[in-house]
Structure 1
Amino acid sequence: SDGERLLIVSGDPLQRQRISQALWSLNEESFLANGMAGEGHEDRQPILLSEMPEPVNGARFMAIADGLWREGASSFTRIFFLFDDRTLQHARETWRMLRGREEVEHYYWKQDGGRWVQAG
């Protein structure tokens, strides 16, 4: 929703850099301002990229970009857990673990011809 902040977490510094570049360069009218943890002014960043699940920018949403589940330091309203074929088995184990938590609503989306569709 409008004005919400996002924390993007990845243990891979090259992946964080690629994500940052992509967000800045969507196009002139719709770039998404972002910053890296450790570079200062983290609390001002609408989108903060970090290797730690700590929302120092006040984010209530977290995207885990490297396919490795991490528990948030605080309770996030929503967590996006992104994975690929390389991290699929870990994602399945995480899904089973989260399904056992009563307070968690979980949804699975997949890409279909360039679109995201809700699955299973």
Structure 2
Amino acid sequence: MAEIWFYHLQSRPLEQVLPTLLERSLARGWKVVVECSSRERLASLDDRLWTYADDSFLPHGTAGEPDAAGNPIVLTTDSDNPNAAQVRFCVDGVRIPDALDTYERVILMFDGDDPEALASAREDWKKLRARGLAATYWQQDDTGRWEKKA
């Protein structure tokens, strides 16, 4: 069963923190799938992962590309797992999937300044707890560092 982590974004936006978390996942030898809520958001994150640092980039592709299965990171708008990833990031309003058994870790990242995103994350937290599943809650401090809250 997957570890489930909630990341409450407060002081830094997704575009700033996602690349670092993806780097950490790759360093562990994991493949990653990032599910976005729209094609526009996917395109924006796709561009960001190529340009987030002057001296680095994250090797990735998008679902539907012929070589998606061979990419260490795949961006998608669907619930599929095109590269047999061990980690799934749910961003930009995407909810925690019901099927958790194919992942080692599922990460929900949500904007703490968005009341709708906050409410959805709370619903997912309660749903997981009702199923008897454990989840970990991380919140950004003022400097952007992650603090484990639950």
- Classify the TM-score, shorter chain: 0.7 to 0.9
More helix by share: 2
Alignment coverage as a number of residue pairs: 119
1:53 alignment partner in structure 2:
79
Distance 1:75 1:49 in 2: 17
Shift of the alpha carbon at 1:48? 0.2
Asked if residue 105 in structure 1 is aligned to residue 134 in structure 2, the reply is yes
- Could you state the TM-score of these two structures normalised by the residue count of structure 1? 0.87
Distance 1:73 1:95 in 2: 14
Shift of the alpha carbon at 1:9? 0.3
Distance 2:53 2:39 in 1: 23
Asked if residue 62 in structure 1 is aligned to residue 88 in structure 2, the reply is yes
Asked if residue 77 in structure 1 is aligned to residue 104 in structure 2, the reply is yes
Shift of the alpha carbon at 1:5? 0.5
Cα separation, partners in 2 of 1:72 and 1:42, compared to 1, 3 Å? farther
After superposition, where does 1:1-120 map in structure 2 within 5 Å?
1-69=27-95, 70-72=97-99, 75-84=102-111, 85=114, 86-102=116-132, 104-113=133-142, 114-120=144-150
- Could you state the TM-score of these two structures normalised by the residue count of structure 2? 0.71
Gaps of 5+ in 1: none
Cα deviation 1:35-66 (Å, max 9, x = unaligned): 11112211111100011122120101000012
Distance 2:75 2:140 in 1: 23
Distance 2:47 2:110 in 1: 20
Gaps of 5+ in 2: 1-26
- How large is the RMSD of aligned CA atoms in angstroms? 1.8
- Structure 1 moving runs of 4+ over 6 Å: none
SS at match of 1:58: coil
Q: Which has the higher contact order (CA 8 A, sep 6+)?
A: 2
SS at match of 1:83: strand
SS at match of 1:95: helix
